[in-house]
Chain A
Amino acid sequence: MERAFGARWNPFAQLGALGWFCFWLIAGTGVYLYIFFDTGVTAAYESVESLTHRQWWAGGIMRSLHRYASDAMMVLVLVHLFREFAHDRLRGVRWFAWVTGVALLPLIYACGVTGYWMVWDRLAQYVAQTTTEWLDALPLFAEPLARNFLDSGHLSGRFFTLMAYIHIFAPLALLLFMWVHIQRHSGARVNPERGLALGTLAMLMGLSVAWPALSQPAADLGRVPMELPLDWFYLAVYPLIDRYGGAAVWLGGAAVGTVLLLLPWLPPARRPPAAVVDLDNCNGCGRCFTDCPYGAIEMVPRTDRAPYSQQAQVDPDRCVSCGLCVGACPTATPFRRAKALKSGIELPGLRAAELRDQVVAMGGALATRPRILAFHCGHSAPLPPSDASFGVVHVPCIGMLPPSFVDFTLARGHADGALLAGCRSGECHFRLGDRYTEQRIAGERDPALRERVPRGRIGVSWRGMIDRRRRRADLSAFREALLREAPAAPARAGCRPAWSFVAQGGLYALLALTIGAFSCWPQYRQLARDEAVVKLSFSHAAQRVEPCAALTAAELARLPINMRVRTDCRRDRWPVTVNLMLDGRLLYLGTHRPAGLHDDGPSTIYRRFAVPVGPHVINVRIRDTGRSTGYDYEARRGVNLQPGQSFVIDFASSGNGFIFPVTKE
């Protein structure tokens, strides 16, 4: 990826920032779409259709961008999550970003799902039905939400207003959480490199024009949508809900979520001690404060008698022990008196004095020219073992190395060349080590490497954990350059080979194709070709367990004056037992408890059955009294089910009992 995009544009190093970019893109297009969106059972669909077709050159492209950017965001976020996990960047202080990041997932999901809902085409119908069934698996709502989508008579235009609000509110909440997500990162990257952003936009634009997002036919609650082009980035769990039920998917989701949230604390966890400040060597210059990538250092009023106004203070809970602060400290220089060498801020795990001793010892062991001393970060690709011409000093992060150590190594003749071997460019395990190092060598950041240090004798090698081969190649190249005494030209971003642009284009195309394809393919078949659906759904309050008793005058007189009602009713009701037969075969038999703390509410039922098409006799019965046998209501109906038909059996005790759809036989 880095070779195709170049180090500066490597998308893997800025997945989070790309996510932010997608968010703004979705927000921008969303505002435009909202201007033209109507909230209403038929108006919603029509407004989206007219936007897509009559205004294809603007609204249509906006709509497609809106969808594809959402898909891209999901992909980016998941890859981001996976990479942070794979690089173990979630422990210690990083739990915060990890946990808030995981919490973003359901929000992103909610944004996506409500978005698909609003179009009110067949897919939206499926999403609405399944989402409500899914939510109904939670004991939250007294009446099943899914009952809203039995037939168009049950559906109100206000519902779309509600959806629109949720679809606006959820992204705002998402934005808030995204902001919280980056709170503990100083200088968090929320904007990708401009070139990469433009490339991504171009890719999504191209996809939108070549493969515009279109609606399915308008929703028809009387029919079950048969073949659904699911957006698998968002709706992949929906077939699971169909198959295993909402409760199972909730449990599964909760289990996955819990594991994800606990990951930062699961073994193997190890944590080197946090940085400490040595006040005798700290004059409060604030360089460590400026450079700490985790905001773990604060400048506070002086606590000793020294006539300085400030001192650095480390918050151990936020410190990751990367040592970038040591690299920034002007007192961390090996030229000092060895006995006195104590840096203003130190890593207890590797103090400046120890680092100096290691350089001297390692350098002393080198005999064969060119003698190379490598400073190696353990989060990056390994180096070959030390030998007579090559020694390694390990540091937690290359950014921990104060530039004066490089000067010291070369000027004092401890080695002929110093190789700085760290993580892949832009992907420092501690975020900013490689960037700081490059800037310090280039003299753009304090403390800068002395100008007179021959740059030709400094090698850099930014290689990720798996790049062993190229790391060895870097070492050999550096060795040869030292032999020739020619400055090794470090491969810099900006002089990319021509093929890499082609590769970059190819990768964009591949990603676009992936997004385009999985946003509507493979199609999901909810129902076999020769099946229809019978839905049994009603909400009915059964009879009370005891009839109301009339109070006698004497009983009334005993009651306080404000409680004298003529009848005394116990509140609890009988459960409702339902029996549904299809062609004399039992399809469903169940007993439903009344809602309410006192069992005084209605019993509700919502069940969906796939049945073969053709003529059937449906027999449905209800018991809502305390009788032990027999039923209180019964209805029998002959019906000829068509493929995909949705046959709804409702019930209202006030009318004629059972309500069947008007059949056109």
Chain B
Amino acid sequence: MGLLDWRDDFSIGIPEVDHEHRLLIDLIGALHERLVEQQQGAGIGEFLGELHSQISAHFALEEKIMRSRRYAGYPDHKQDHERLLDEIRDIMDGYELHGRYDAGELGTALETWFGEHFRTHDARLHRLRGGSHA
């Protein structure tokens, strides 16, 4: 059981986006487990960097899809993306600086963010997509 589990209602119906969402949730879960098991294990910083990179790439893809579909909520959604990336970078810096990391902080941040993001923005994209399909 990770921090966050994939739920079917996360699916927005675009296979590549859903695929990456699943990957990310898995990655976050793996990171969390690792942290819980060996609190100050080596390579955590780089693991965070890996996560950051994958989320960046994922957002880049999502943004491309939103632009190509002329999604009206694009600016807000994009801003939200930047905000999360920034928060992860802060956590990365915090870890580097203090050599330690608060599992609760990351968990909460990611969970809140992802939950919220899925619920609002991606869901809107989903609805838009459903609408255009009908």
Contacts and interface: CB of A to CB of B under 8 A. Distances in A.
Interface string A274-298: 0000000101111100000000000
B53 to A, nearest CB: 5
Nearest to B58: A283
Contacts of B45: 335
A633 to B, nearest CB: 82
A337 B56 contact: no
Interface residues of B, number: 30
B5 interface: no
12 contacts: A281-B57, A283-B57, A307-B15, A308-B61, A309-B16, A330-B57, A331-B56, A335-B48, A337-B47, A337-B50, A340-B50, A411-B96
Contacts of A334: 49
B56 A333 contact: yes
Interface stretch (A195-203, A236-244, A443-451): A443-451
A631 to B, nearest CB: 85
A334 B90 CA distance: 16
B12 interface: no
Interface string B36-49: 00000001011111
B86 A336 contact: no
Q: Interface residues of B: mostly helix, strand, loop or mixed?
A: helix
B49 A330 contact: no
Given A307-B16, A411-B93, A450-B89, A335 B61 contact: no
Nearest to A287: B60
Given A283-B16, A331-B56, 19 more contacts: A284-B61, A285-B57, A287-B64, A308-B19, A308-B61, A330-B56, A331-B53, A331-B54, A333-B56, A335-B49, A336-B49, A337-B46, A337-B50, A344-B57, A411-B96, A446-B63, A448-B82, A451-B86, A452-B86
A338 interface: yes
A571 interface: no
Interface of B: 15-16, 19-20, 43, 45-50, 52-54, 56-61, 63-64, 82, 85-86, 89-90, 92-93, 96
B50 A307 contact: no
Contacts of B61: 283-285, 308
Interface in A23-60: none
A34 to B, nearest CB: 44
Contacts of B63: 285, 446
Contact of B49 (A286, A308, A337, A344): A337
B59 to A, nearest CB: 7
A412 interface: yes
Contacts of B58: 283
B93 A285 contact: no
A284 B86 CA distance: 23
Contacts of A307: 15-16, 19
Contacts of A335: 45-46, 48-49, 52-53, 92
A236 B85 CA distance: 63
Contact of A283 (B20, B50, B86): B20
A446 B60 contact: yes
A283 B85 CA distance: 18
A187 B127 CA distance: 34
A411 B97 CA distance: 10
A616 to B, nearest CB: 83
Contacts, number: 80
A407 B52 CA distance: 13
Interface residues of A, number: 29
Contacts of B96: 411-412
A336 B19 contact: no
Contacts of B92: 335
A285 B64 contact: yes
Nearest to B93: A411
B81 to A, nearest CB: 10
Contacts of A284: 16, 61, 64
B86 A330 contact: no
B28 to A, nearest CB: 16
B89 A336 contact: no
A285 B60 contact: yes
Contacts of B54: 331
A356 to B, nearest CB: 11
A284 B85 CA distance: 20
A450 B50 CA distance: 17
A1 to B, nearest CB: 38
B19 to A, nearest CB: 4
Q: Nearest 7 CB-CB pairs, A to B? A: A335-B49, A285-B60, A330-B56, A337-B46, A285-B61, A330-B57, A307-B19
Given A286-B64, A309-B16, A330 B59 contact: yes
Nearest to B59: A330
A407 B88 CA distance: 14
B67 to A, nearest CB: 9
B49 A331 contact: no
Contacts of A338: 46
Interface in A214-241: none
Contact of B57 (A331, A340, A412, A451): A331
A384 to B, nearest CB: 31
A180 to B, nearest CB: 29
Nearest to B67: A286
Interface in A325-373: 330-331, 333-338, 340, 344
Contacts of B19: 306-308
Contacts of B90: 452
Nearest to A333: B53
Contact of A330 (B20, B48, B50, B53): B53
A297 to B, nearest CB: 14
Contact of A336 (B20, B50, B64): B50
A286 B58 CA distance: 12
A70 B92 CA distance: 60
Nearest to A443: B82
Nearest to B56: A330
B49 A333 contact: yes
Interface in A297-312: 306-309
Contacts of B52: 333, 335-336
Contacts of A287: 60, 64
Nearest to B19: A307
Nearest to A338: B46
The residue in B16, B20, B54, B63 that gathers the most chain A C-beta atoms within 10 A of its C-beta is B16
A447 B56 contact: yes
Contacts of A309: 15-16
A307 B15 CA distance: 7
Contacts of A412: 96
A308 B23 CA distance: 13
